[in-house]
Each structure stands twice: as C-alpha cells, then as structure tokens.
Amino acid sequence: MQKISKIAVLTSGGDAPGMNPCIRAVVRTAIYNNLNVVGIKQGYKGLIENDMYNMDKRSVSNILNLGGTILKTARCLEFRTDEGMETAYKNLKDQNIDALVAIGGDGTFTGALRFSKKYTDIAVIGVPGTIDNDLYGSTYTLGFDTATNTVIEAIDKIRDTADAHDRVFFIEVMGRDSGAIALRAGISCGAEAILLPEKETAIKDLIADLKDGHLTSKSSSIVIVAEGDKHGGAYDIAKIVGKELANIDIKVTILGHLQRGGSPSSFDRVLGSRLGYAAVNALLKGESQKMVGLRANEILLTDLEEALTSHEFKLEEDLMEMAHILSI
Ligand code: ATP
C-alpha cells in the first residue's frame, strides 16, 4: 500500500453550497492524521498554473456557513489535453503531493479518473459536489439540498404575487440534463406542472391542466421548467401555451444563478463534513479512483469508473405521478 503524507484538495466545475464544509473536513481530517494539506485554487486550472498554498487548521475557520468555495472553481480546457495533465502531474510531484481530493461533478470525475489512470502514483478520491444531483453512487450530491431550498423560497414568494393577480407563472430552474431540482421544488411548492429534461412534455396535457385549474377556480398556477426541457426554456413554453390560453395572464421568471449561492443548509453542511472526512480516511486506507457517496445514510465508496458509466438518472415516475395528483 502506497503511504501518503501530503494531500491536495480542489473544487472544480460548477460551485455548489456545501463545498466549504467539505474542504474544512478534508483539511482538518488530514491534519488530525498528521498529513500535510495543500489547497489548489480554481480546480484543474490552479493545478496546471501551480496556484497552490499550504493549509493549516485555521485556514478553514468560519467557512461552514459560506456558500461558494474558498478555493474558487473554474472550468479548464487545458486539463483535457495530455500536455495539461503532464504539467499538473509535474506540479504535484514537485510539491511531493501524493494524493488528491477532487470535489465536483461528472466532468471533474472524468478528468480525475483519466489523470489517475495515467499517473498511478497519485491517489485520487472524488467527492460528489454538484447541485444537479445526477451522480450514480450517491443518493444526494453536495449542494442539491441548499439549491432546492433556495428555489422553494423564491417560488413561495412568486406564488404570493401569482395568487394576488390570478396568474400563471412559468419558472425556469437549473438542470440542463437533470430534473432533480425541478421535481423536488415542484413537490414542495405544489407546482401545477413540472417539466423535466428526462421526460417528453405533453404540451396538450399541460394546456388542458391549466385550463382545468382556471375553470375550477384555482387562483394561481406554477409551472416549473428545468432549463433542459426539450421544448426550450420557460419563455418558449410560455409562448406556446399562451397562444391557447389567451384569457389567462401568464408571466415568466428565470431563477438563474441565485440557485447556486447562499449559506449551505444543515443537510449540506453535514453531508460535506461526512464526505470530506470519508475522502481522507479512504486515502489513508490506500484507496484510489473511488468516489465517496451517501447511500441509505451510510458513506460508501463507488469506483469512479462505475460512478461515471452507470450515470443514468432514473426518473422518479412515482414522484411525478404523486405531484400531479396532489396538485389537482
Ligand atoms: P457540474 O456538474 O457542476 O457542471 P462538473 O465537474 O461536471 O460540475 P465540468 O465543467 O463538466 O463540471 O468539468 C469540470 C472540469 O473537469 C473541466 O473544466 C475540465 O477541466 C475537467 N474535465 C471535464 N471533462 C474532462 C475530460 N474528459 N478529461 C479531462 N478533464 C476533464
């Protein structure tokens, strides 16, 4: 078993609330186990540009409550090239770093896996940090809970004004390939319809449901649209529907980047702490090319390869059906 003495941690891809509690857990668990820790700024970009600094236990004081990531994040094209990876490897070796904790989504894991297959003397553990909740091997990913709560808070406010004016609101939430936020927020806010990229939207049924709500004296209707819906964004769908519902006042709100920010929820603080702690303990046990994830309230390891290839998201048809029935 390769003995490790110095580890590096980075956050990469889209930022997600809960990354900071995770960084804190990685740093403090490492120090508790007499490991040195290096923080890499801006994900793989900092790895290639040698933008790293030594962290101590006070480097992560008072960050549990902060959204974003103190290490910053970036998308880095150069890391996709062999030359970029070689520079990254050289920078790690120059600092005697022998293990890496990579916090991010599937792109981050793809990079981490390619890198650790090429350079097997650097152990790599991935932590699922993405608001999309779309990684196999973890029922929940870091940031999903906070982002969903943020969406709920915004939609509750929109419901007030929609109700006051008897309006239909189309609200677009994040999720190019994943309807996870849309579905949870839809159930939580009693949305009249939830449109997801995983399921073809029957526009005719949507129009019929909205008409029915209007005829049965619903004072407002909320349609949640995940940004990856096949018919387009909230504006496109509102336009199509509006042609058939000329007597109903329709408005559109795009929630946008506010969904990424904010103080992590209790759930994400605990999850980030557990995953960061588990990532370092996995490295200490000699693990590599694995992802730490939450399953049935246990932190378990999944091969990065499997986490990426078994990536298919199962649409929770039962929840969709329930949401539909409960919103009549
Ligand atoms: P999110 O799910 O929030 O978007 P992500 O980790 O999937 O997060 P990406 O931008 O897809 O975000 O990936 C993050 C970074 O991972 C990329 O900017 C790139 O540096 C690296 N990466 C992605 N795919 C590869 C690949 N095939 N080879 C090497 N590196 C990659």
Distance, CA 221 to ligand 1 centroid (Å)?
Answer: 37
**Beta sheet of 52-55, edge-to-edge order:** 52-55, 36-40, 6-11, 99-104, 123-128, 290-295, 298-303
pTM of whole model > 0.75? yes
Q: What's the whole-number average pLDDT of the chain?
A: 95
The answer to whether residue 101 scores a pLDDT higher than 70 is yes
- Residue nearest to ligand 1 atom 15, measured at CA: 108
Q: Kindly state the percentage of the chain with pLDDT values over 70.
A: 98
Q: Mean pLDDT across the stretch 240-266?
A: 94
CA of 290 to the centre of ligand 1 (A): 16
Q: Is ligand 1 within 6 A of the CB of residue 105?
A: yes
Q: Following DSSP, what letter does each residue of 171-232 receive, concatenated?
A: EEES-SS--HHHHHHHHHHT-SEEE-TTS---HHHHHHHHHHHHHTT-S-EEEEEETT-TT-
Q: Closest Cα to atom 17, ligand 1: which residue?
A: 75
- Which pLDDT value is given to residue 127? 98
What is each CA distance from 212 to 140, 164, 186, 247, 281, in whole angstroms? 35, 19, 19, 13, 55
Confidence at residue 225, expressed as pLDDT on a 0 to 100 scale? 96
Q: Is the pLDDT of residue 311 over 60?
A: no
| Ligand 1 contacts CB of residue 143 (under 6 A) | no
In the reported structure, the alpha carbon of residue 194 is separated from the centroid of ligand 1 by a whole-number distance in angstroms of 28
Give the pLDDT band of residue 314 (cuts 50, 70, 90).
low
- 3-state SS class at 258: helix
| 305: three-class secondary structure by DSSP | helix
Please say if the pLDDT value at position 249 is more than 90.
Answer: yes
Residue 157 confidence (pLDDT) = 97
Q: Which residues are the active-site residues?
A: 132
Kindly tell me if the per-residue pLDDT of 86 is higher than 60.
yes
- Helical packing angle, 266-284 and 144-165, nearest 10°: 160
Q: How far apart are the first and last CA of the chain?
A: 59
pLDDT at 122: 97
| Residue of 2, 227, 224, 229 whose CA lies nearest to 99 | 2
Model pLDDT, residue 1 = 67
How many angstroms separate the alpha carbon of residue 114 from the centre of ligand 1?
Answer: 11
Asked if residue 221 lies in contact with residue 168, where contact means CB atoms within 8 angstroms, the answer is yes
Q: What is the dihedral of CA 204, 205, 211, 217, to 10 degrees?
A: -170
Task: Give the 3-state DSSP-derived string for 36-104, with helices as H, strands as E and coil as C.
Answer: EEEEECCCHHHHHCCCEEEECHHHHCCCCCCCCCCCCCCCCCHHHCHHHHHHHHHHHHHCCCCEEEEEE
Dump pLDDT digits (tens) for 32-73: 999 999 999 999 999 999 999 999 999 999 999 999 999 999
- The number of the ligand 1 atom at minimal distance from the alpha carbon of 13 is 12
Q: What is the C-alpha separation between 153 and 24, in angstroms, rounded?
A: 27
CATH 3.40.50.450 fits 6-143+264-309, yes or no: yes
Q: Tokens for 36, please give them.
A: 């040195």
Counting ligand 1 atoms within 8 A of each CB, the residue from 19, 85, 108, 174 with the most, and so the one to mutate, is 108
Judge whether residue 216 has pLDDT over 60. Answer: yes
Q: Do strands 167-173 and 221-226 pair parallel, antiparallel, or not at all (unpaired)? A: parallel
Nearest to 143 by CA among 259, 45, 36, 241: 259
Question: For the chain, which residues make up each domain, given as ranges?
Answer: 6-143+264-309, 145-260
**pLDDT greater than 90 at residue 120:** yes
User: Quick check: 298 pLDDT over 60?
Assistant: yes
Q: Is the CB of 108 under 6 A from ligand 1?
A: yes
Mean pLDDT of 198-219: 89
Do 6-143+264-309 and 145-260 have matching folds?
A: yes
Q: Taking residues 259-287, what's their average pLDDT? A: 98
Structural fold of domain 145-260:
Rossmann fold (3.40.50)
The percentage of residues in the chain with a pLDDT greater than 90, rounded to a whole number, is 85
> What is the four-CA torsion angle of 262, 275, 125, 15, rounded to 10 degrees?
-10
115 lines ligand 1 (CB under 6 A): no
| Nearest protein Cα to ligand 1, atom 13 | 107
Q: What is the average per-residue pLDDT within 135-143?
A: 95
